[in-house]
Structure 1
């Protein structure tokens, strides 16, 4: 692993973790082919929504239920309109689930949109999620282009759009916001824009429980740079490492203060949702029951996706991908493998781990150059499977998304 995995030339080569970057905002970078990649991404996701519309019509299910009011979406909408501490859910086991389990950035953005525009909460939530999904695809593209060029960048965006659980990018969930912040923070690290990297990492930490994965990546890259430069790095590197975890730590401590247990309060809240890091004990128990007694289609599918993700992480390491990308993906993999909770949701937790797709994107580009017809067939098949499976998840499966 390295902070830069391939030689670069031209403008991109002038910036790096150890060089002073150009004084401009990260989103001002517009590499060639970006618009085409974003159009492709939007087309795939709109096709996914169209398939959902058709599936909802066939099953006589309200479309708004699938898009804006599925599972966690209702909690986000409630927080956006009523604030925290206003909703609880008592489980049959007696566990009391509260809205403090949900991080504040996404409902805060929904509330901001409601203040500015005459929309319903569901419409505002979808506007935020869909906009963030496009911003995330933009960030993923510029990372791919910076490291490997236009072809791999386009393939990377296309693969991310066609993941089995990419339907989550089209519903009122927080993965779109988290992915956008993660992608741009990691890009800023690769370009040596440390203050932006730290600020975006802090926001990512406010978006969802796994948000600290971005701060871990920024910190790892900063420490690597400090060691490489024997401590003689710009102050922005140290500031980024301090800023990065502040969002996640701040919310965890705030929940602790609300519950009366500063250090354990947030984790007690998560326990009520059967969400804890138990080093995979609960997941192993579930898998044992799945192999012995079987289960609905979503569960073996989720297992296959998790196993493939682990294999892709190994390929990412062998490919000598940049250190922050490896750390970010590795932390998300670790959380999925070691945390309890609904097994059907684990592929969703891996959706932001776009660096896992880099080996596949590079292989797809090589296949396109050698056998374009076969590569096009593979891409079309992946898209069809993704759209159908996404509609199945949101309409038929009735399993936690």
Structure 2
């Protein structure tokens, strides 16, 4: 167990490191998003049932906000305002983020997009603080500093600040494991419950909490019962959502069945990677070829660092990391096997520990890695804003 310390000094230190980083990335992406509108010939916007896509082009300073309303963001806003509907694909989007949007929007006088952005931004700042403190305890201060820099400048980190559920999920999942490592299993269970209500991979948090309980028992701590109870509470988040669909439509597994809306099919993870590699290599320079290559160039190195992370990680972090990787790898879109993987890996911070330790060991300055990530952001944000298929 990490020795207990006063919360206030830790929070002050985390804020001193994370708040300037958050503000720099937030302001940079705000400017980049605004400048990206109309920079490329836009692709036709894709509306979702019950929520029309904003027009493109849409001149004006308001584009600094509306530029982020793309792809899945429309689903979250539609669900927040109009609720779920049977058979339209909405079941694939877990409910906690839309519920939060609806509540905050009511406070703001009926502005769901502003509410979604406010929630995501505050959640991301909170997530940086938790990940920093957790990493400092599990690794070192230097690795913690590098980890949050890597997290904030990852090529797809703009999803943390867009109307997507990645930031709330990262905050809740990191908080669950932070609490479990300190023996605060009531908080761990509550945060895990929230994570499981936020994304379909949230059930992995329950498995990670169970793994921590078993490892602590092996180390001689008498926390198995409390740890497994926390894991059960966390798993309850997924169960509650599934049961809501059983009551609503008679289909307990509707959130899984509606993955077919995006033509995802079960695939063995190594088959997904083999097919993705073949396509990425075959279509370099061809029309749409960059999509496959972008997916591959982000996902495969991330997998390599995830493998390195296994050697030094506790069971809980390994379960969380690899569970979060294998679930999306097992449900692939055949024509673009790694579609959305660059976004799905965002909350899997234990892989960034391995990356940060490699940088520290080889004395590569963290700003160099941040520059590479910022270059990726500079490429992907204009594509996302102009409706190119970065989702």
Q: TM-score, normalised by structure 1?
A: 0.82
Of residues 321, 325, 328, the one that matches 2:313 is 321
Structure 1: 5+ residue runs without aligned partners? 1-11, 16-21, 89-95, 369-373
- Alpha-carbon distance between aligned partners in 1 of 2:133 and 2:191, rounded to the nearest angstrom: 16
Q: Are residues 1:102 and 2:102 paired?
A: no
The number of equivalent residue pairs is 364
Tell me which residue corresponds to 2:48. none
- Alpha-carbon distance between aligned partners in 1 of 2:366 and 2:225, rounded to the nearest angstrom: 47
Q: How does 1:214-363 map to 2 (within 5 A)?
A: 214-229=205-220, 232-233=222-223, 235-262=225-252, 264-280=253-269, 284-285=274-275, 287-294=277-284, 295-318=288-311, 320-341=312-333, 343-363=338-358
- Alpha-carbon distance between aligned partners in 1 of 2:103 and 2:150, rounded to the nearest angstrom: 32
- Deviation track 1:359-380 (CA, whole Å, cap 9, x = no partner) reads 2222334455xxxxx6265145
- Alpha-carbon distance between aligned partners in 2 of 1:321 and 1:290, rounded to the nearest angstrom: 31
Contact 1:73–1:173 under 8 Å retained in 2: yes
Structure 2: 5+ residue runs without aligned partners? 41-55
- Alpha-carbon distance between aligned partners in 1 of 2:362 and 2:209, rounded to the nearest angstrom: 33
- Alpha-carbon distance between aligned partners in 1 of 2:280 and 2:355, rounded to the nearest angstrom: 29
Contact 1:32–1:150 under 8 Å retained in 2: no
* Ranges of 4+ aligned residues in structure 1 off by more than 6 Å: none
Of residues 201, 217, 242, the one that matches 1:210 is 201
Contact 2:70–2:385 under 8 Å retained in 1: no
- Deviation track 1:72-116 (CA, whole Å, cap 9, x = no partner) reads 11111011111122xx7xxxxxxx533112100000000110122
Tell me which residue corresponds to 2:181. 190
Q: Which moved more, 1:37-46 or 1:104-113?
A: 37-46
CA RMSD of aligned residues (A): 2.7
Shift of 1:169: 1.2
Tell me which residue corresponds to 2:51. none
Tell me which residue corresponds to 1:40. 21
- Alpha-carbon distance between aligned partners in 2 of 1:396 and 1:111, rounded to the nearest angstrom: 27
Shift of 1:192: 1.5
Q: 1:97 to 1:82 in 2, by over 3 A?
A: closer
Of residues 331, 337, 359, the one that matches 1:364 is 359
Contact 1:344–1:399 under 8 Å retained in 2: no
Contact 1:51–1:387 under 8 Å retained in 2: no
Q: 1:340 to 1:32 in 2, by over 3 A?
A: same
Q: 1:276 to 1:133 in 2, by over 3 A?
A: farther
- Alpha-carbon distance between aligned partners in 2 of 1:186 and 1:54, rounded to the nearest angstrom: 38
Q: Which moved more, 1:135-144 or 1:339-348?
A: 339-348
Q: How does 1:57-72 map to 2 (within 5 A)?
A: 58-59=39-40, 61-62=57-58, 63=63, 64-67=65-68, 69-72=69-72
Contact 2:91–2:254 under 8 Å retained in 1: no
- Alpha-carbon distance between aligned partners in 2 of 1:269 and 1:28, rounded to the nearest angstrom: 46
Tell me which residue corresponds to 1:390. 380
- Alpha-carbon distance between aligned partners in 2 of 1:376 and 1:216, rounded to the nearest angstrom: 32
Q: TM-score, normalised by structure 2?
A: 0.84
Of residues 158, 176, 180, the one that matches 2:171 is 180
SS of the counterpart of 2:251?
coil
SS of the counterpart of 1:398?
coil
Tell me which residue corresponds to 2:50. none
SS of the counterpart of 2:2?
helix
- Alpha-carbon distance between aligned partners in 2 of 1:376 and 1:340, rounded to the nearest angstrom: 33
- Alpha-carbon distance between aligned partners in 2 of 1:380 and 1:288, rounded to the nearest angstrom: 29
- Deviation track 1:25-70 (CA, whole Å, cap 9, x = no partner) reads x899526353222211331232122112111153474434431x20
Q: 1:256 to 1:269 in 2, by over 3 A?
A: farther
Q: Are residues 1:74 and 2:77 paired?
A: no
Shift of 1:288: 4.1
Shift of 1:351: 0.5
SS of the counterpart of 1:214?
helix
- Alpha-carbon distance between aligned partners in 1 of 2:362 and 2:276, rounded to the nearest angstrom: 38
